Structure 1
Amino acid sequence: MSTELRLRIVSGIVLAAVVLAATWAGGLPFRLLSSLIALLVYYEWSTITRLAEADVRGNAFGWAATLAVAAMVVYAEEELALVTVAGAVVLSAIHAVAFKRSFWLSGGIAYAGLTAISLAAIRGGDATGLIAMLFVFAVVWATDILAYFVGRAIGGPKLAPPISPGKTWSGAIGGTISAIVAGSLLYLCFFPSIGLWIPLVAFILSVFSQVGDLFESFIKRRFGVKDSSRLIPGHGGVMDRVDGLVFACFAAFLLSLAAMLSGQQSASTGAFLLGL
């Protein structure tokens, strides 16, 4: 076993242990983890897109907005945090137009802010949130792992060659099928029966997880970067590890928010995901 592979395995185990421990604990520990991930995501986003060089004032505003959102999430003020993200995105877009800057600043604020909000909203503070978060993990991890192995085993047409030459349609389909199976099995560990809702949600989250992976690949290719950073030994950066998870959580949170605004749902995001 090479030193690089050994380092990758050890780092992966440590990361999984920290994430699962915080998820089990819920409450403040998980909100702190969600906020930390968001801050690291903004750091990597601003580094990749070179915001600190191209737009010093805009980047300072982005940091201020992300720090404010992170603090609100820590204090369980997700609704206020969501309003803050929306306002900051609008202001940064106006800044981009007025001073002829890029819209990468707006994208970074939205990406980092929604990361913290959606993670915290799904986990919540009760047993339902714990199951919902484990469900999301099962779906995303199954998608990621099986897409890689199925794609290598079967090969075939490429999924998005200009963005990520290694990904195939066979891997995408295999990852989605495995996500539906993994999500359904996780659900059945806690509930006696299952309907069509859980496979449907698993399918949606798996698709968004793969979109998130492609989205980060697009950004890195756009700016000629291999890894989002070197923060995680053997793995690259935080964005490299959470790109699929972040987009799956975005989908879950925004779907539940849409259902709530339409009057079809009043329960938590976790309860919405599990169809409770």
Structure 2
Amino acid sequence: MSRELQLRIRSGIVMIAVALLCTWYGGFAFRLLAAIIGLGVFWEWSRMTRVADKTVRGLAVGWLAVTSVAANVLVGDAGLSLPLLGGFLITLAIMAALRRWPWWLPGGVFYAGLCIVALAAIRDDDALGFVAMLFVFVTVWSTDILAYFVGRTLKGPKLAPRISPGKTWSGAVGGAVAGMIGGSAVVFAYFSLTGWWVPAIALLLSIASQAGDLFESFIKRRFGVKDSSHLIPGHGGVMDRVDGLVTASFAAFAIAMGLAAAQSGTADSIGYLLFDLAGRS
């Protein structure tokens, strides 16, 4: 085993252990993890897209937006996080429309800010939040692992050769099936549920995870970057590790909000919306 692979394995074990430990404790510990991930994502996004080369002032506003959302998630009113993020995004979008600042700036604030909000909302502070976050984690991890091994084994037609030449349709299908099975197994291990909605949601999250992977590959190819950064030994940057998790979290958050809106549901927990309200839809 090469030294680089050993380093990659050790770093991966540490990251998984930290993620699971923070998920277990929940509360401030997990919100802090979400904030660190979001801030790391925005730092890498702004570097890759070279926002600072076009507007230092705009970048300062971008940092103010993301740090404000992170601070509100940590010690403020969670219900204000989305309106706060929305206010900043409107301001940044107006400046981008006026061609004062690049569109990559509001895009980065949206991506990093909603990452913080979605992760914190999914975990929440109750038992359902713990299961919901495990559900997302296992779905994404199962997708990543099986997509890699199935793709390398079966190969076949490329999924998106211009964006990510190494990805295949066989890997995408294998990853989606694995994500659906892995995510469903987590939920069924905790609850005596029957029905199609949990595997269906897991499948949607798996597809979103793979779309997120392709999206980051597009950004890196667009700006000629190999890794988002070198913050994580053997793995590249934060975005390289959480691209699928971010978009899967977006999808879980959006599905839960959509279910609540469609049924006039009122709940304090994303887990309730995904596993209980969805089952009655």
TM-score past 0.5 threshold: yes
Residue 49 of structure 2 corresponds to: 49
Provide the rounded CA distance (Å) in 2 between the counterparts of 1:77 and 1:45: 27
Query: Which moves more between the two structures, 199-208 or 178-187?
Result: 178-187
Measure the CA separation in 2 of the matches of 1:17 and 1:44: 23
**Contact kept in structure 2, 1:31 and 1:76, CA below 8 Å:** no
Following superposition, the deviation at residue 144 of structure 1 comes to 0.5
Q: In 1, distance between residues paired with 2:257 and 2:188?
A: 26
Query: Deviation string for 1:204-236 (max 9, x for gaps)?
Result: 100100000000000000000000000000000
Q: Distance in 2 between matches of 1:275 and 1:151?
A: 35
* CA deviation map 1:45-74 (0-9, x unaligned): 000001111111110000000000000111
TM-score (norm 1): 0.97
Partner of 1:207: 207
The alpha-carbon deviation at position 82 of structure 1 amounts to 0.7
Indicate conservation of the 8 Å contact 2:135/2:183, yes or no: yes
The one-letter code of the counterpart of 2:56 is V
* C-alpha separation in 2, matches of 1:256 and 1:185: 20
The residue identity in structure 2 corresponding to 1:170 is S
5 Å-filtered alignment, 1:2-81, equals 2-75=2-75, 77-81=77-81
Question: Is 2:176 the counterpart of 1:173?
Answer: no
Query: Partners in 2 of 1:190 and 1:101 — Cα distance?
Result: 48
**What is the aligned partner in structure 2 of residue 118 from structure 1?**
118
Measured after TM superposition, the shift of residue 22 of structure 1 is 0.3
Identity of aligned residues (%): 56
Q: How does 1:258-269 map to 2 (within 5 A)?
A: 258-267=258-267, 268-269=269-270
Q: Which runs of 5+ in 1 are unaligned?
A: none
Deviation at 1:39, TM superposition (A): 0.6
Q: Is the 8 A contact 2:260 2:273 kept in 1?
A: no
Matches within 5 A, 1:106-255: 106-255=106-255
Q: Supply the distance in 2 between the matched residues of 1:67 and 1:257 (Cα, whole angstroms).
A: 24
Distance 1:26 1:9 in 2: 25
Q: Supply the AA of the counterpart residue of 1:270.
A: G
- 1:102 matched to 2:71? The reply is no
Counterparts of 1:262 and 1:194, CA distance in 2 = 22
Give the whole-Å Cα distance in 2 for the aligned partners of 1:260 and 1:199. Answer: 19
Alignment length (residue pairs): 276
Q: What CA distance in whole angstroms lies between the structure 1 residues aligned with 2:276 and 2:224?
A: 42
Q: Which runs of 5+ in 2 are unaligned?
A: none
CA contact (8 A) 2:96 2:103 kept: yes
Checking the alignment, whether the CA contact within 8 Å between 2:136 and 2:249 is kept in structure 1 is yes
Q: Displacement of 1:76 after TM fit? A: 5.3
The answer on 1:273 being equivalent to 2:277 is no
Tell me how far apart the structure 1 counterparts of residues 89 and 175 of structure 2 sit (CA, whole Å). 33
Q: Give SS of 1:152's match.
A: helix
Cα drift, residue 100 of structure 1: 4.2
Query: Offset of 1:193 from its aligned partner?
Result: 3.5
SS in structure 2 at match of 1:274 = helix
The Cα of 1:137 is off from its aligned counterpart by: 0.8
State the Cα RMSD in Å.
1.2
